[in-house]
Amino acid sequence: MEAQRLKSLDVHECHHNILGMIDIQPPLVAQTDPDRYSWCQFALHSAFAEVAKRAVKAGWDEREVAAALVDLADRHMLDLITTGELEAIIEAIKKQS
């Protein structure tokens, strides 16, 4: 039952285009630029603020929204790490054969 509930909350299956009207600036600097992370934060700031504002307007408490956004970002990072590790394992297996 819990797994089914969590699946219904999967953000990848969400069909709402919350950010459809928000433009996110593409990178203006090379990946090797030491300020690239700051530029990425700057590019995402408006979209992030809009999501938070809409959630509060929908009735969620501002602290709940902040905590949920942090948790979602954390889970996304863990998914990226897990996927990267899985890809590395698959590549290592391919090299052994």
> Which residue do the tokens 């949920």 mark?
68
Per-residue tens of pLDDT for the chain, all 97 residues: 445 444 445 555 554 565 566 789 999 999 999 999 999 999 999 999 999 999 999 999 999 999 999 999 999 999 989 988 888 888 888 888 6
Query: What global pTM score does this model have?
Result: 0.66
Farthest-apart Cα atoms in the chain, separation: 56
One-letter amino acid for residue 10 of the chain: D
Task: Check if the beta carbon of residue 66 is closer than 8 Å to that of residue 75.
Answer: no
What the block records as the tokens of 59 is: 């009735």
For residues 62 and 56, the answer to whether their CB atoms sit within 8 Å is: yes
